[in-house]
Structure 1
Amino acid sequence: MPAPVHPHPVHLTLANGLRVSLRHAPRLKRSAAVLQVAAGSHDVPLAWPGLAHFLEHLLFLGTERFPTDKGLMAYVQRHGGQVNASTRERTTDFFVELPVSAFADGLAQLADMLTHPRLTLDDQRREREVLDAECVAWSQDAKAQQQVALLQGLAADHPLRGFHAGNRDSLPVESDAFQQALREFHGHFYQSGQMTLSLAGPQPLAELQALAQQFSDELNSGPLHPQAAPPALMHGPAHSYQHVANHHLHQVITCDAPREALAFLCTWLNASAPGGLLAELKARQLATALHASVLYHFADQAVLDIDFTLDSERERATQIEALLYDWLSFFARSDWTALREEFALLNARQQQVQGALALARNDAEDLSEQGVAALKAMLDALSLPAAEHSWQLPPNNPLLRPPAKEERAGLIRGQTSAHRGLRTFAQDRLRGRRELSALTFSQALADDTDEGALYLHWRFDAAAPSGLEHALQPLREHARQAGIELSCETIANDWLVKMHGLHAPMPAVLEALTRCLSGDDEQLSPPAPVPMIAIRELLKALPVCCDGVHPGPRETHASWATAQWQGLGSGLPAACEAAIKLAAARLPGQPANIPYTPRLLNGQHLWHEVNTESSDAALLLFCPAPSQSLADEATWRLLGHVLQGPFYQRLRVELQIGYAVFSGIRQINGQTGLLFGVQSPSMSLDGISEQLQAFLGQLPSLIERSPDLGNQALAQQFAAETLPISQAADLLWQAQLAGHSSGYLDQLQQLIQSRTREDLQHAAEQLNNATGGWRCVANGPCSNHDWYAAQ
């Protein structure tokens, strides 16, 4: 398997003090920037909690050069990229990923918004209401409150125990003192010496460095200001405590080990192999899952959280703690040579498959000798007696080792994938039979990279077996380490498995999947659902609402023997296709071409009520295209492209309806539709519905006023050579479900480019008339008689 061209980033410090990290990866389809400011929630004056988070929000509200409707967020949306920001304890991070052709301009906009924010009082008043709404939602979010409770064992004077989210009371924007503090914070920290820029992309290093220099030239120059050291995490001799709540036991350990040392420890703590801690806990029926992670790391302080999912409500904390420390004692006295080699392989493999944004954010390091010494010292400080249990170190992950090289099947000797047009007549007949089987392989994506995708879909005659995702967790972790993202999704009677990543290990992962699925169904026990905010609960429910199939009761046993399955591979070389076909022959169920017939709404307005246990009003509006034709899909996509920015501007910025406001195209089982989402702490569901309809009613004038519909920018997003493999494979899977031809991507591009203003006006009329129907998924009933309650 080819190694990355530059496995390690190039680090530079520019003349103005800006620290730069450059990653050149020719395999990437996009470019990304991560800008980290060495200042976070714990660096603000005590009088103004939330100021850092507030400033992060304000920076996105436009500058004199780039007003909000032409700012970075709108620019990224137009080019199908990603943009976000995060305020943490001691850092504030800004993330941008864009097509290579749009990256330089996006980087220039990022520099401008960081350096020249408007900070107008009207903007501040509006954005404060958004933060206040977020704070209310945060206070009601079970997961967030569990995190707050978890940190109560730390010293009372440590800032981790404080309030930093920001709300209406803590952000008095009318105060002169607050305004001075806001501008001083920006001037002190938002300058070159306080920043680190990480770039990743397919561009040569010289080009990446030139982009970094251009970015640097736009910044305010200033020195690095050391951040104040916090007080001790815990006072006195204690360095750990326990927290038990909601079937979880948290063992919290405070220490001063470096990041790579803690990442190394967490990797092996989380291993599920026989002879390890999790395997023993499961055998004793003490816990069903274990997840070790670093909650906080700054300077010489770190908080390690070891989260055990308890098997029952009985108090087992003492037994679990004893086994944990016994395992740590064994680990501390073990030879780590093989584990360090494995850890280095894991880090290297992740760099081979990560997208541009993940690669720019990747700060993982191999365990150095200094890291070994620090980890040993940390474990020694726990004063652990000799281990009593016969533990074992986890074995090597076999998926990390490349398979033996084989002659590429389906090619004449001496050929490469570039000679695919020179197949023999017999080979073409073989390919034809393959394409007609339940497992097909798309030729729409080139197979000349290390990456590919595989989709496997089962349909049962009753509700799909529960707990499948939980049962596959060990395999998912091994596959992830090997460079394959394995995920699954259950919708009523259907179960879908996706694999994205390096194609070389895929046959072995598929073999392991067949072994997992041939186990005893009664062993599958799903964990308790993880609480989510209301809008995420609705997004999870949306595919089930659209499916229209009511699954049988869970007590009805779904039989693998009578289940049907089909699959699609993309971007896979011939040898990998052949190996996957062999492995797929042992999959449970019957291979078949499973038809998908979308549930047509025929102009209806259907309302689905979903309980989310939230006081916020949350609503999704899904508007399917009038037909399954590619022409309608292209028009609907362009319509979504035109309205995305204005929709956010109107409902989120101008009307301040909610903090979760979005729109875009969503494909569900081959059906393309426009999706609008809003979560609001202040407006009712009827009010949100009325505002959505009012916005849609203004579409004709919006289309007429738009100087550029964006055909070219949108069409470029569907070029196979610029699409990341995961996105391209998803599109091809949806195309297969919709019954489109193998030339789907090219045809879609051409149709998007040829859409006219008249086409969009006709689509807007169809949308407002609900020609394809409207489906609303909300966390409450609707009193409007235009809607019908879904049965």
Structure 2
Amino acid sequence: MQRASERLANGLRIELISTPAAQQAAALISVECGSFHEPIPGLAHLLEHLLFADSTHFRHQQRLMPWVQGQQGQLNASTHACRSAFFFEVAADQLEAGVARLTDMMAHPLLQQSDIRREAQVIDAECQLLQKESRTQAAAALTSMLAAPAEAQRFQVGNAATFGDDLPALQAALRQLHQRYYVAGNMTLWLQGPHSLETLRQLAQRYGTLLPAGQAETPPLCLQASGASQRLRSASSALRLGWIVADADATTFSLLRQMIVDEASGSLLAQLRDRQLCQAIALDLTIVTPQTTLIVVDFSLLNATDDAATQVESLFYRWVQQLMQQPDAVLQHYAALDRTVFSALSPLRQLRARVLDCVPPASIDEAFLTRWQALLHQCQAASHLRQLSGENITGAPTLCQGFALSLTTLPLSAVPMADADAHFVFFSAPQNRATTETPGGVPVALAHQPQNGEEVTLVLHPAPETGLANCGGEALRMALRTLAGDARHAGVNLCIEPEQGVWLLSLRGQGDALLPVLDALSARLLAMQEPHWQAGRAPAELAVRQAHDGIAIRALLAALPEALQPQAADVSDSWSGMLVGGDAWLHQAIARRLSPLPGWHHPVHPARHAAVARAVATSSRDRAILLFCPVPASARWQLLAQIYEPHFFQQLRVERQVGYVVSCRFHYCAGESGILFALQSPNWEYAALWQAIEDFLHAMTPLLGEVNAQQLDEHYQALMARAEESVRLRWLAAWRGDVERENRVTPDDLLAAHRQLQQLTGWRLSNQPVA
């Protein structure tokens, strides 16, 4: 990786990152303007939405959003307290076309009244959607404990009431906000991709100079904590501790996060789990200003009781005390782990982390150690902000930042120190590797795909004929999480996650490092008894309850795998797998080590069940529907979904204003491939939503008839550029039997597929109550 930065004559700062091995490229523009700078609540958020509408030189289907969707790329934007960011990722050879659109929409938005009216309604729908979202509620309640600045107390999402009915006045306010803050001296353009630094520099100069010159003067915004404690009624049980950190250093935050989330034996998280207090920890940069940062450590509690919260908090402070005494070698080891995790991110996620979150330290030098100790000193004393949330907590009805909460705020009290004998383990070096001798036993039928490089990946699929139910998958994750933490310190990534609705277990690392981890893995899997498998039922049921209380469309998506695979097993009694990389000796060594696992054989794709209509209970008053039409994973069907996507968004989100959630894409789930349509609306009835999909498919017939061979080839090239290469996805493709390959798709093929889709009966999920 090579990096360069400079400032153009108009004041724009450019940051260039060359990553020669990457297939994708990303661009991001950050603007020093956010919710703290707006004169009307939600105005910065509304402007974020409107910048994706028409601009002077790119309108309708040529503007950034539909163009990126048509390229099979990714894009989004985010408004924070003092900063907004706009970003996309596409194939490397399309970077310039994307940057041209990104800079034009930032410099020359039309801000038309028709677009303002539409996006104000969309944000109002989004606000309603967030009213019961646990993390949004918690963030609003937590920031209400800030004593300063006053801007932190304001409603920031925006809704119909704050925007009002005077469109000319709202348009004038938007233009004034844009003209004041969206100037080159207040922006940074980030470019990352496989191009040379000189190519990226020329690209940044060519389009960066089109941004208007200027510099916005912003007053200092220093966060101040009130020193209070909260009790919040919420669907999620959590303890949140917050501190105001001055002169923030993002690299120290990143290292602290890496050490907090460590799952290895003896770590903070492992010991909290052993005490049945906590199941996960996260560190968030909740509010960032140029002068101060509010960092929050979020503990997901098993039980939201005062006693549990006190134990967690006291053990955390004991851990911080011991962390302050760790030698440089320990910090260097965790920093190396942090850099490994960061390097595996996509270009877009790396840019987002650099701008909106934090990045690993490049080295542990004296200057870093000084900043590190200063951070830990600020976190050593009792927290400035404390919040305990849970379903059984009661509080007074309170309005915080536009959200109706059940909340009680109390003075912050001292927390007893934990047992002085509590001792935590901080790994500083990989664990000793076991012998690489090949054990006895008959090798299992392990598929093998050799490839160049020292790194290998082993993918294991439990219960391959039926799939593993969520309770079984959660049980596996719980049983193996400490081993996964230990393995990371040995350079092996052990992952137990659902991929496309299918639970997979994978190990990735250098071949000789995998063997001792595999020995320990086999032993733990063989030791699992019925009580271990049943232990996964509670977190699986919790996930269902949280989905019920969260955003409705997410609950439907979470329920789709079960609808497609109703015979999923609670206990894994058979296995199959694939090794990618390594030589014949390593393949045999791994195949023999897997021989104790029961029922080993080549996978058989589960039988397809008849499509069903299913109701999924949610607490949301929005109407949400999901239609999944199973089709082969061949190029014509993926191209069809690729062409559908921007038109579906344009017709239903922009023109017909269904609501905040409007999505169409090619989707894999529980062994099936298909085209997915998803809608959620606060106003439309269920029948109207289903009819909207039918209307869309009908309207697409003449549009598809206009697609010529050249346009179709461009879509095909974009599809190939986004082809998934991860080993886990490759294994799923082999399991599904995706053997249909098409090197050429004609317009007639596409239109025939579209007409066939109109005749299909798909899986229909909704949150419509059963009569």
Contact kept in structure 2, 1:353 and 1:501, CA below 8 Å: no
Query: How many Å apart are 1:360 and its aligned residue?
Result: 2.7
* Mapping of residues 165-564 of structure 1, within 5 Å: 165-172=157-164, 174-223=166-215, 225-235=216-226, 238=227, 241=229, 243=231, 246-256=236-246, 257-316=248-307, 317-332=309-324, 334-363=325-354, 364-366=359-361, 368-380=365-377, 382=380, 388-396=420-428, 398=430, 438-442=445-449, 447-448=451-452, 453-459=457-463, 465=472, 466-476=474-484, 482=491, 484=493, 486-489=495-498, 495-498=503-506, 510-511=518-519, 513-521=521-529, 522-523=531-532, 524-525=535-536, 526-527=538-539, 528-529=542-543, 530-531=546-547, 532-549=550-567, 551=568, 558=571, 560=572, 563-564=573-574
C-alpha separation in 1, matches of 2:598 and 2:103 = 55
Query: How many Å apart are 1:62 and its aligned residue?
Result: 1.9
Secondary structure of 1:592's counterpart equals coil
C-alpha separation in 1, matches of 2:101 and 2:456 = 33
Q: 1:655 to 1:539 in 2, by over 3 A?
A: same
Contact kept in structure 2, 1:484 and 1:506, CA below 8 Å: no
AA matched with 1:287: C
With 447-456 and 77-86 compared, the bigger mean Cα shift is at 447-456
Matching residue of 1:619: 625
With 306-315 and 35-44 compared, the bigger mean Cα shift is at 306-315
Contact kept in structure 1, 2:237 and 2:303, CA below 8 Å: yes
With 145-154 and 682-691 compared, the bigger mean Cα shift is at 145-154
Query: How many Å apart are 1:609 and its aligned residue?
Result: 1.0
How big is each residue's C-alpha offset from its partner over 1:664-713, in whole Å with a ceiling of 9 and x where there is no partner? 11123443311111111111111100111111122321212335674323
Secondary structure of 2:244's counterpart equals strand
Contact kept in structure 2, 1:451 and 1:500, CA below 8 Å: yes
Secondary structure of 2:340's counterpart equals helix
Q: 1:739 to 1:259 in 2, by over 3 A?
A: closer
C-alpha separation in 2, matches of 1:351 and 1:149 = 31
AA matched with 1:83: L
Matching residue of 2:767: 779
C-alpha separation in 2, matches of 1:506 and 1:293 = 32
**Contiguous gaps of at least 5 residues in structure 1:** 410-432, 784-791
Q: 1:478 to 1:369 in 2, by over 3 A?
A: same
Contact kept in structure 1, 2:652 and 2:658, CA below 8 Å: yes
C-alpha separation in 2, matches of 1:293 and 1:778 = 33
AA matched with 1:489: P
AA matched with 1:538: L
How big is each residue's C-alpha offset from its partner over 1:462-481, in whole Å with a ceiling of 9 and x where there is no partner? 95624323444445556678
Secondary structure of 1:619's counterpart equals strand
AA matched with 1:674: I
Matching residue of 2:703: 702
Contact kept in structure 1, 2:446 and 2:591, CA below 8 Å: no
Matching residue of 1:596: 605
C-alpha separation in 2, matches of 1:293 and 1:201 = 27
C-alpha separation in 2, matches of 1:683 and 1:216 = 42
* Mapping of residues 583-732 of structure 1, within 5 Å: 585=594, 588-599=597-608, 601=610, 606-625=612-631, 628=632, 633-707=634-708, 710-717=711-718, 719=720, 723=723, 725-726=725-726, 729=727, 732=730
Matching residue of 2:24: 30
Query: How many Å apart are 1:132 and its aligned residue?
Result: 0.5
C-alpha separation in 1, matches of 2:256 and 2:607 = 48
Query: How many Å apart are 1:649 and its aligned residue?
Result: 0.7
How big is each residue's C-alpha offset from its partner over 1:710-747, in whole Å with a ceiling of 9 and x where there is no partner? 43233324548x74532xx4653343223345xx6xx3
* Mapping of residues 728-747 of structure 1, within 5 Å: 729=727, 732-741=730-739, 747=741
With 244-253 and 87-96 compared, the bigger mean Cα shift is at 244-253
Matching residue of 2:397: none
Query: How many Å apart are 1:247 and its aligned residue?
Result: 2.8
Matching residue of 2:386: none
C-alpha separation in 2, matches of 1:388 and 1:308 = 22
With 210-219 and 28-37 compared, the bigger mean Cα shift is at 210-219
Does residue 111 (structure 1) correspond to residue 103 (structure 2)? The answer is yes
Secondary structure of 2:195's counterpart equals coil
- 1:762 aligned to 743, 752, 755, which one? 752
AA matched with 2:43: L
Query: How many Å apart are 1:41 and its aligned residue?
Result: 1.1
TM-score after normalising by structure 1: 0.81
Q: 1:214 to 1:573 in 2, by over 3 A?
A: farther
Secondary structure of 1:698's counterpart equals helix
Secondary structure of 1:777's counterpart equals strand
**Contiguous gaps of at least 5 residues in structure 2:** 383-416
AA matched with 2:427: P
Q: 1:472 to 1:193 in 2, by over 3 A?
A: farther
Q: 1:475 to 1:130 in 2, by over 3 A?
A: farther
C-alpha separation in 2, matches of 1:219 and 1:487 = 46
Matching residue of 1:422: none
Q: 1:761 to 1:712 in 2, by over 3 A?
A: closer
How big is each residue's C-alpha offset from its partner over 1:374-424, in whole Å with a ceiling of 9 and x where there is no partner? 44335445568999234234113628x9x89999x9xxxxxxxxxxxxxxx
AA matched with 1:675: L
TM-score after normalising by structure 2: 0.83
Q: 1:87 to 1:130 in 2, by over 3 A?
A: same
Q: 1:287 to 1:687 in 2, by over 3 A?
A: same
Matching residue of 2:408: none
Query: How many Å apart are 1:98 and its aligned residue?
Result: 0.7
Q: 1:496 to 1:267 in 2, by over 3 A?
A: closer
Matching residue of 1:788: none
AA matched with 1:732: R
Q: 1:396 to 1:38 in 2, by over 3 A?
A: same
Matching residue of 1:62: 54
Q: 1:67 to 1:595 in 2, by over 3 A?
A: same
Q: 1:396 to 1:119 in 2, by over 3 A?
A: same
Query: How many Å apart are 1:243 and its aligned residue?
Result: 4.9
C-alpha separation in 1, matches of 2:119 and 2:96 = 28
AA matched with 1:439: L
With 761-770 and 317-326 compared, the bigger mean Cα shift is at 317-326
C-alpha separation in 1, matches of 2:618 and 2:352 = 33
With 609-618 and 310-319 compared, the bigger mean Cα shift is at 310-319
Contact kept in structure 2, 1:548 and 1:599, CA below 8 Å: no
Secondary structure of 2:317's counterpart equals helix
How big is each residue's C-alpha offset from its partner over 1:302-342, in whole Å with a ceiling of 9 and x where there is no partner? 2222223334354213333333223323333x033123211
- The alignment covers a number of residue pairs equal to 708
Contact kept in structure 2, 1:242 and 1:252, CA below 8 Å: no
C-alpha separation in 1, matches of 2:263 and 2:33 = 37
AA matched with 1:768: Q
How big is each residue's C-alpha offset from its partner over 1:158-178, in whole Å with a ceiling of 9 and x where there is no partner? 433321001111123635443
C-alpha separation in 2, matches of 1:739 and 1:320 = 48
